[in-house]
Amino acid sequence: MKRLYFGTDGIRGRAGQPPINAEFAEKLGRSAAKVLAEGTKQPIFAIGRDTRESGPMLEEALAAGITSAGGKVQLLGVLPTPGVAAMVKEDKLTAGAVISASHNPAADNGIKFFSGDGFKLPDQIELEIEQELENPKINGRGSITRVTNASARYVDHALRSMPHGFSLKGLKLAVDCAHGAAFQTTPDALQRLHAEVSIFNDAPDGHNINLNCGSTEAQEISQLVKKTGASAGLAHDGDADRLLLCDETGSPLDGDELLAMAGLDLLRRGELANQTIVATVMSNLGLDEAIEKGGGHVVRTAVGDRYVLEAMRAGGHILGGEQSGHMIFARHGTTGDGLVSALQIFRLMAESGKPLSELRQVLQKYPQAQRAVAVRIKSPLEELPTVAAAISQAEEALAPRGRVLVRYSGTEPKLRILLEGRQPEILEEQADRIATAVKDVIGA
């Protein structure tokens, strides 16, 4: 059966409207407690959130649902998503929940869950939670407590990913906190490592999260790097499970470049398990070439860090990520972690003495053309003859060393188009053809 509410990263929507309202959140909490508590005497959930105005409302409703099912709730307050996952695992709790819509605008919000081992739930468990939603209420007697040291504990967790006594002294960093969940934790961690840090967008007011800032606004961190003369720039998304880095010239790096740098570093150290990294189908073909030249291999998955994680766990791999900046260092956490990922790259800079503009050269990208088309419905592509024909034409035009990837977004009403090959002009032409065909039949 297909999930009705859960997408690639939990449930998202406009706050205050179904399903992101108090009524649904309470039902969701009750259902999640019943499903995830199986085999436990009393489930214990940790709940963290980002800085959106709607966060406390959803937090209260979700907690009410969990306690109505007899569960205990620990409210962590504003905390990056990886901090919630880390505390759930370290404290051996039943599950964790994060109230956030990541990089979406402030008017949106969402809810996602972690199991007791700190990993995101598999599709089947999310389906079971959905199936439990309409069951009658139960009258459990749970409890709610507030945790006051969650941010400090997360910073300690992130710093444990660095060698003991390591210092970033000499690195001058510009940090864009996106007015989000990392507005305190990332500056604290970097300052404890003795980096010189210029902090921006660290004054959340409930409405300004991701507003003209953060990891989806590359021009902001680029300008801040140039303004401050920083060695590098770091920008988070709203829940800080991913990052955007800029080199000292203000040029952004994508997740593929970060994966190439980190993967080749681990290969050189003889520390990359199975000599393999995990990436999604969106990653550039140049990543495969770079890792293969270093003696490694790339495994690809569907889009979504949850699928990257599933492949990493199944294969025993320790490094994976997405082009969007989700990076997963399995030795240091169970989910994408923007702070831990940044620390690993900053360590590489400090140890090598090389600037990011030089380190990034390990990846020579294939040219790409990307489009995101707003759609009113998500019809199967095979049922849209003109779209299918445009895709087929593009595949023929890019053969033999190119590829075409067309898929619906799991979090937004959009269809995403990616073309990759060696001839940019052909890529752009064919991408426009596909985008036009989509707009003609299902465009919003």
What burial class does residue 410 get, using C-beta atoms within 10 Å of its C-beta: 0-12 exposed, 13-18 middle, 19+ buried?
middle
CB atoms within 10 A of CB 77: 16
- CA dist list (Å): 316 to 320, 327, 330: 11, 16, 9
Residue 13 bridge partners (DSSP): 109
**CA end-to-end distance (rounded Å), the chain:** 27
Instruction: Output the six-digit token pair for 40.
Output: 């436990």
The full 3-state SS of 227-244, as one line of letters, equals HHCCCEEEEECCCCCEEE
Residue 167 known to be catalytic: no
Q: Exactly one of 31, 54, 102, 215 is catalytic; name it.
A: 102
What is the residue type of 249?
A: T
Contacts 24+ apart (CB under 8 A), 120-125: 120/305, 120/306, 120/309, 120/335, 122/310, 123/3, 123/6, 125/35, 125/36
Contact (Cβ atoms closer than 8 angstroms) between residue 193 and residue 347: no
d(C-alpha 174, C-alpha 176), whole Å: 7
Which DSSP helix (H) or strand (E) runs through 279? strand 276-280
Catalytic residues: 102
